[in-house]
């Protein structure tokens, strides 16, 4: 390969055959799809879009980007890419911490796993080698005990453990891979795919060995410019300015609730009213915050580690009391007790499951209970934290009829209860913590996300909340289709580099391109980056089209379209999805959600 930056060594694992092969990356793929998310989708495409997600033929990828493990700010992300057992779409889910950097320091760009092992196994990566080893000793353990076991085996120094818990083993459809105890690749059921392959963990032992950029002088200048943007205290949108560094992502709880954009009680309301304060970042900082851990090359430190000091969960510590999780298990379920929310988050990380999907599963079941739709399964009252804890145990091990129904995810649960309208899902995946009646851009972003309802494909609140210079009115639908397309393409590129989303609050395509070009050593323009992002987004959409997601697959739950908000900030508003879709499809050049052959040719997509 003529490109710098890459190790050009991809680990290919066939679990059925018990074989490992190291192969170079096809250079055309690297140039077109960059790395991380984009390159992962290209590898997943090789298994075919119609593959059963839980069959041995499905491919599970753990992918770095060309900037991973370097000095580039916020370059500690890893993308796990596969076909989702929750949605049937292609999915990618990213986590922070140190696993991505250590995989790169070990000399590899990623791992492509296919097949199914005859018995539980783990991958051990060290000294440029990859071994498939027996995981019988940890099969049946949750994540925290699994991490502890491998640290005792290999020592804590220079070690990363990426694992599934009992939720993945029991094929909970929204099971996650958890890195270093509580950094989750949460969405889409990637841990469920791991469980279906009997792959328990990936253990990486590697000393720090920063990759060298191809053009060191250009990189020095580009890196200094990017770092200055992030650290600029005069820039109110910088992730270092106040919010993220001080309160973490949960700084948004009070903001979205006050503006009528926080879904509560399974999205029946758009605010958690005065209860939002009790689970907010401000409350956490004052009462239970104990540390601000960070990821590789990150100057922001958005993670907030908490310790519960009293009550039934006294002594509990968890590192991931974040906005999405606090909302899903809090406001969405009518629960305003931070201690119980922390316990639920801890359980999700230990069992290995997505907090967002879990909160929607429980919220859906709570609304069904309130309306008498429980189908003989008992029920769950709003805000019943003790019962929520009990049901999480049952769900993770698929105990009984109810445990099995909950483990299938929000949409399948609502169908089982006979009331699919209760599921706040798109393409089978539940919504995150933004109500599209109060943040209109999230409506079109949810509807057109290639991995199901998602705020990270196009983080329109960055614009609607004034977190980036491109400020828009959160209650205005006009222009949101074009905005969503723009942000989807930007994030498809940055996810393929693989950089943290929060870098985009300070950096733009110019900073991304300058660093990428210096690392790989080729001329690359902003226009090239936008085209790469558009190509990656269209590649994903092409996969979904071939997987059966044709015309009409971009939609929202009817609640957002027909039930106006009754809370201040968005009172009287619904989401005008059809108008935004028309604008979006025109910007994309799609035909009612389907990529035409002419667009594939324009973007040089060969799949």
pLDDT in the model for residue 128: 92
Q: Cβ neighbours of residue 604 under 8 Å, at least 6 residues apart? A: 32, 535
- pLDDT score for 51: 98
Q: What is the pLDDT of residue 412?
A: 98
Task: Give 320 or 493, the one with higher predicted confidence.
Answer: 493
Tens of pLDDT, residue by residue over 35-49, are 999 999 999 999 999
Q: How confident is the model at residue 546 (pLDDT cuts 50, 70, 90)?
A: very high
Separation of first and last alpha carbons in the chain:
22
431-450 pLDDT tens trace:
999 999 999 999 999 999 99
State the pLDDT at residue 242: 57
pLDDT of 248 reads 85
Q: What percent of the chain has a predicted confidence (pLDDT) above 90?
A: 87
Residue 238 has pLDDT above 90, yes or no: no
> Is the pLDDT score of 253 beyond 90?
yes
Give the HSE-up count for residue 543: Cα atoms under 13 Å, Cβ half-sphere: 31
CA angle 268, 271, 273 (to 5 degrees): 125
Average pLDDT over residues 61-88: 95
Task: Give mean pLDDT, residues 253-259.
Answer: 97
pLDDT band at 571 (very low <50, low <70, confident <90, very high): very high
Q: Does domain 10-205 have CATH number 3.60.9.10?
A: yes
pLDDT above 80: residue 263: yes
- Tell me what the mean pLDDT of segment 221-245 comes to: 75
Say how far apart CA 504 and CA 491 lie, in whole Å: 9
Query: To the nearest whole percent, how much of the chain has pLDDT over 70?
Result: 98
Greater pLDDT, 232 or 549 = 549
Tell me the residue ranges of DSSP E strands in 378-498: 425-426, 429-430
Return all residues near 304 (Cβ < 8 A) that are at least 6 apart.
247, 248, 250, 281, 284, 285, 289, 291, 292, 319, 321, 322
Tens digit of pLDDT for each residue in 373-428? Answer: 998 999 999 999 999 999 999 999 999 999 999 999 999 999 999 999 999 999 99
Residue 151 per-residue DSSP state: H
Q: Cβ distance 31 to 3 under 8 Å?
A: yes
Domain with CATH 1.10.599.10 in the chain: 449-505+525-602
The closest of 385, 492, 439 to 267, measured between CA atoms, is 439
CATH architecture of 449-505+525-602: Orthogonal Bundle (1.10)
Task: Check residue 6 and give its pLDDT.
Answer: 95
Cβ pair 139, 122 in contact under 8 A: no
- The residues facing 162 across adjacent strands are 179, 202
**Does the bond joining 498 to the residue before it have cis omega, within 30 degrees of 0?**
yes
Is the pLDDT score of 372 beyond 90? yes
Instruction: Tell me whether strands 60-63 and 78-83 are parallel, antiparallel or unpaired.
Output: antiparallel
Among the residue ranges 130-144, 236-250, 295-309, the one predicted with the least confidence is 236-250
Q: How far is CA 576 from the centre of its chain?
A: 26
Q: Nearest to residue 326, comparing CAs of 369, 283, 367?
A: 283
- Closest Cα partner for 218 from 4, 517, 518? 518
Comparing CA positions, the residue from 294, 119, 316, 84 lying closest to residue 200 is: 119
Both tokens of 337, joined, read 């007790």
Residue 468: predicted pLDDT:
86
Residue located via tokens 């309160």: 247
Distance CA 407, CA 168 (A): 11
Spatial separation of the C-alpha atoms in residues 174 and 82, rounded to whole Å = 13
Residue 280 has pLDDT above 80, yes or no: yes
Looking at residue 228, its pLDDT comes to: 86
How does residue 198 score in pLDDT terms, banded at 50, 70 and 90?
A: very high
| β-strand partners of 133 | 122
Q: Determine phi and psi for 514, rounding to 5 degrees.
A: -60, -40
Compute the distance between CA of residue 437 and CA of residue 565 in angstroms, rounded to an integer. Answer: 7
Is residue 22 scored above 70 in pLDDT? yes
**Phi and psi, residue 594, nearest 5°:** -110, 135
Q: Is the pLDDT of residue 312 over 70?
A: yes
Q: Considering the chain, tell me which residue range(s) the CATH 1.10.569.10 domain(s) occupy.
A: 233-430
In the predicted model, what is the mean pLDDT of the chain?
95
328, 433 Cβ separation under 8 angstroms: yes
> 97 — phi, psi (to 5°)?
100, -135
The pLDDT of residue 244:
77
Q: Count other Cβ atoms within 10 Å, centred on residue 575.
A: 29
Residues 6+ apart with CB under 8 A from 513: 524, 525, 526, 528, 529
* Residue-level pLDDT at 233: 64
For residue 583, the surrounding DSSP H or E stretch is helix 577-588
Q: Which of 509, 24, 8 is nearest to 214 (CA)?
A: 8
Q: Give me the sheet containing 305-307, strands edge to edge.
A: 289-291, 305-307, 317-318
Lowest mean pLDDT of 244-253, 424-433, 513-522, 533-542, name the range: 244-253
Which residues of the chain form CATH 3.60.9.10? 10-205
Sign of CA dihedral 470, 471, 475, 479: negative
| Per-residue model confidence (pLDDT) at position 74 | 86
Q: Is the pLDDT of residue 229 over 90?
A: no
pLDDT digits 0-9 by tens, 150-190: 999 999 999 999 999 999 999 999 999 999 989 999 999 99
Q: What is the mean pLDDT of residues 229-245?
A: 68
Three-state DSSP state, 269? strand
Closest CA to 448 of 501, 488, 493, 490: 488
Q: 């009528």: which residue's tokens?
A: 260
The span from the CA of 92 to the CA of 186, in Å, is: 10
Q: What is the pLDDT of residue 66?
A: 95
CA distances, 331 to each of 280, 362, 491 (Å): 10, 12, 28
Query: Does pLDDT of 337 surpass 60?
Result: yes
Question: Which tops the pLDDT comparison, 289 or 539?
Answer: 539
Cβ atoms within 10 Å, residue 226: 24
Q: Tell me the C-alpha distance between 121 and 113, whole Å.
A: 12
301 pLDDT more than 90 = no
pLDDT at 227: 87
Residue from 381, 384, 313 nearest 347 by CA: 313
- Alpha-carbon gap, residue 525 to 509, rounded angstroms: 9
Q: Annotate 325-380 with DSSP letters as a single string.
A: HHHHHTGGGT---HHHHHHHHHHHHHHTB-HHHHHHHHHHHHHHHHTT--TTS---
Strand order in the sheet with 19-23: 19-23, 10-14, 110-114, 60-63, 78-83, 90-95
Domain 233-430 has CATH 3.40.1190.10: no
């Amino acid at each position: 390969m003529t490109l710098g930056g890459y190790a050009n060594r991809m680990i290919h694992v066939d679990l059925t055959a018990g074989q490992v092969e190291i192969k170079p990356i096809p250079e055309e793929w690297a140039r077109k799809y960059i790395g991380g998310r984009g390159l992962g989708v290209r590898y997943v495409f090789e298994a075919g879009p119609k593959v059963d997600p839980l069959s041995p033929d499905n491919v599970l990828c753990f992918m770095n980007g060309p900037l991973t493990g370097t000095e580039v700010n916020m370059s500690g992300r890893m993308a796990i890419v596969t076909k989702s057992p929750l949605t049937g779409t292609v999915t990618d889910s990213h986590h922070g911490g140190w696993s991505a950097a250590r995989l790169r320091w070990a000399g590899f760009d990623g791992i492509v796993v296919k097949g199914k092992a005859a018995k539980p196994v783990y991958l051990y990566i060290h000294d440029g080698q990859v071994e498939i080893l027996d995981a019988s000793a940890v099969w049946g353990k949750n994540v925290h005990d699994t991490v502890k076991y491998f640290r005792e085996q290999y020592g804590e120094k220079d070690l990363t453990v990426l694992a599934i818990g009992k939720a993945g083993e029991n094929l909970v459809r929204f099971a996650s891979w958890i890195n270093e105890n509580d950094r989750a690749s949460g969405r889409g059921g990637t841990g469920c795919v791991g469980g279906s392959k009997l792959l328990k963990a990936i253990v990486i032992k590697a000393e720090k060995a920063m990759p060298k950029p191809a053009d060191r002088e250009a990189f020095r200048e580009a890196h200094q410019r990017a770092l200055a943007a992030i650290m600029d205290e005069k820039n109110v949108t910088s992730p270092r300015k106040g919010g993220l560094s001080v309160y973490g992502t949960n700084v948004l709880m009070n903001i979205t609730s006050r503006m009528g954009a926080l879904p509560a009680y399974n999205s029946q309301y758009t605010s958690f009213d005065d209860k939002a304060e009790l689970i907010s970042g401000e409350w956490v900082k004052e009462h239970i915050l104990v540390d601000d851990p960070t990821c590789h090359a990150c100057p922001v430190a958005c993670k907030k580690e908490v310790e519960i000091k009293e009550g039934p969960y006294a002594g509990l510590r968890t590192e991931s009391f974040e906005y999405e999780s606090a909302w899903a298990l809090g406001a969405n379920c009518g629960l305003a007790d931070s201690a119980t929310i922390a316990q639920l988050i801890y359980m999700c990380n230990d069992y290995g499951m997505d907090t967002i999907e879990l909160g929607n599963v429980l919220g859906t079941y709570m609304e069904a209970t309130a309306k008498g739709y429980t189908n003989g399964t008992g029920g769950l009252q709003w805000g019943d934290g003790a019962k929520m804890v009990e049901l999480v145990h049952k769900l993770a091990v698929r105990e009984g009829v109810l445990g099995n129904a909950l483990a299938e995810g929000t949409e399948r649960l609502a169908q089982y209860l006979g009331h699919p309208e209760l599921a706040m899902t798109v393409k089978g995946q539940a919504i995150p913590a933004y109500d599209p009646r109060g943040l209109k851009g999230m409506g079109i972003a949810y509807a057109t996300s290639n991995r199901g309802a998602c705020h990270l494909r196009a983080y329109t609140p960055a614009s609607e909340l004034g977190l980036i210079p491109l400020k828009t009115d959160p209650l205005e639908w006009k222009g949101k289709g074009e905005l969503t397309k723009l942000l989807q393409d930007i994030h498809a590129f940055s996810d393929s580099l693989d950089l943290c989303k929060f870098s985009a609050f300070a950096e733009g395509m110019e900073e991304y391109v300058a660093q990428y070009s210096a690392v790989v050593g080729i001329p690359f323009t902003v226009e090239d980056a936008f085209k790469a992002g558009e190509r990656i987004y269209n590649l994903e959409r092409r996969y979904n089209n071939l997987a059966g997601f044709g015309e009409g697959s971009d939609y929202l739950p009817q609640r957002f379209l027909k039930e106006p908000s009754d809370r201040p900030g968005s009172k009287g508003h619904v989401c005008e999805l059809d108008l935004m879709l028309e604008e979006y499809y025109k910007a994309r050049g799609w035909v009612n959600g389907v990529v035409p052959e002419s667009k594939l040719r324009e973007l040089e997509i060969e799949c």
